[in-house]
Structure 1
Amino acid sequence: MSAIATPEDVARLFARPSGYGFARWGRPIVPVVFGVEAESLGAIKGAIEAVVALAGHRMAETDPELGANLMVFFCRDWGELAGVPNLDRLVEGLPALVARLQAEGANQYRMFRFDAAGAIRAAFVFLRMDADLANVPAEVLALDQAVRAILLWGEGALAQGALVEVQGRAMLRPDLAAVIRAAYDPVLPPAATDAAHALRLFARASRGQG
């Protein structure tokens, strides 16, 4: 999809088997990254900051409830997650999740938690650096993951990729950038399960693409 052309296009971005499901962050984002070298850390946090700024949202030094609320884990093998201190206390059913990811041969997985209003209050991003991900430049991988964590996208919504190459540089697709900006319009609710929400989101995203 090269552009958001209809409200149905927007609705598909947040479609899941249970129906329409939209959520954005309801609190400032506080990221922490595990398992990367110092030179990559700056690129990852810089990408998160850029996407948060695009959304018109906020970052903070600490989350009063969790300390950090966007946790990004890099590993070479899913089994390494079992050795991360206290991760099993943060991620319920961690052994079963690790076994499932191993069986599927997955190289990434995201898990979200929500507050009473349905807004995102925490996200866990797991990346297994297989040959495919290892060949992606750090800044490109970081931007892609930041986009995938800024909203609760529907299953397969970003299957065609979230980025495009412009003059040799990876950039966020303009249509998705417009959706992200629109999604954080304070007039809109932080979460929605009624597909009519997509109409309001489309109207704002269309102006953003104009």
Structure 2
Amino acid sequence: MDAAEVQALFTRADGQYLCARWGRPIVPVVFGVDDATLSVVKGAIEAVVALAGHKMAETDPELGANLMVFFFRDWSELPEVPNLDRLIPDLAPLCDRLQGAGANQYRIFRFDEAGAIRAAFVFVRMDSDLQSVPAETLALSQAVQVILLWSDTAFLGASPLARAGETVILRPEIGDVIRAAYDPVMPAVARDASHALRLAARTGRTTQA
């Protein structure tokens, strides 16, 4: 993955470059799954956080939990979750739009004053497509997509995961980018595309496309 490919991962559909990482330890809570799946989801989050060299914690002093992951069957279920509309303004209209679009997942990020991620909400509607995906694969995919603020088009053409024999793993080049983005000398948030050159340099791949 060269610098141009790294840049594409953080260049949004409107042409804006924006890369942000978490500015605080991650405290996840997962809703709508049984105990076995809960351990799979939290294990995937822990693995990606460890890959990044970031930290997890037992509680967030401001929010309690700052990464909330919801699994459900229908978008109409979300507005019925107590107090969720206090965390997600205009929740009901949002769910109506997602229902109309046939979406099966959606992520919302919140940022601190510096622009780093301070909270994220992950919504996964278990439609027929996602029900056929192994829990480990689905959990890893969600963990990867929430560890950084990727472009809204970053993984439309190719998944961040790959198959290695019978196992699904994180694509090594995506892992390289995650580690580079969490390098302590790198900024927590970047809005200039030159940031992609610095990321690529830290992955050992600086060739321009």
Equivalent in 101, 105, 118 of residue 102 of structure 2: 105
1:97-176 mapped onto 2 (5 Å cutoff): 97-159=94-156, 160-176=158-174
Runs (4+) of structure 1 exceeding 3 A deviation are none
> What secondary structure does 1:125 align onto?
strand
Amino acid at match of 1:164: A
Specify the alignment match of 2:5 in structure 1.
Answer: 9
CA deviation vs aligned residue, 1:67-123 (integer Å, no higher than 9, x gap): 000000011000000111100000011011101101100000000000011100000
Specify the alignment match of 1:35 in structure 2.
Answer: 32
Q: Which runs of 5+ in 1 are unaligned?
A: none
Deviation, 1:162, is 1.0
Number of aligned residue pairs: 203
What TM-score comes out, normalization by structure 2 length?
0.96
User: Is the counterpart of residue 25 in structure 1 residue 22 in structure 2?
Assistant: yes
CA distance in 2, matches of 1:80, 1:206: 46
CA distance in 1, matches of 2:4, 2:189: 18
What is the aligned-residue identity percentage?
65
CA distance in 1, matches of 2:116, 2:142: 19
CA distance in 2, matches of 1:151, 1:127: 18
Deviation, 1:205, is 1.8
Contact map agreement 1:178 1:206 (CA 8 A) in 2: no
CA deviation vs aligned residue, 1:148-174 (integer Å, no higher than 9, x gap): 000000022112101111121000000
Equivalent in 181, 191, 194 of residue 193 of structure 1: 191
Deviation, 1:18, is 4.8
Amino acid at match of 1:97: L
What TM-score comes out, normalization by structure 1 length?
0.95
CA distance in 2, matches of 1:94, 1:83: 10
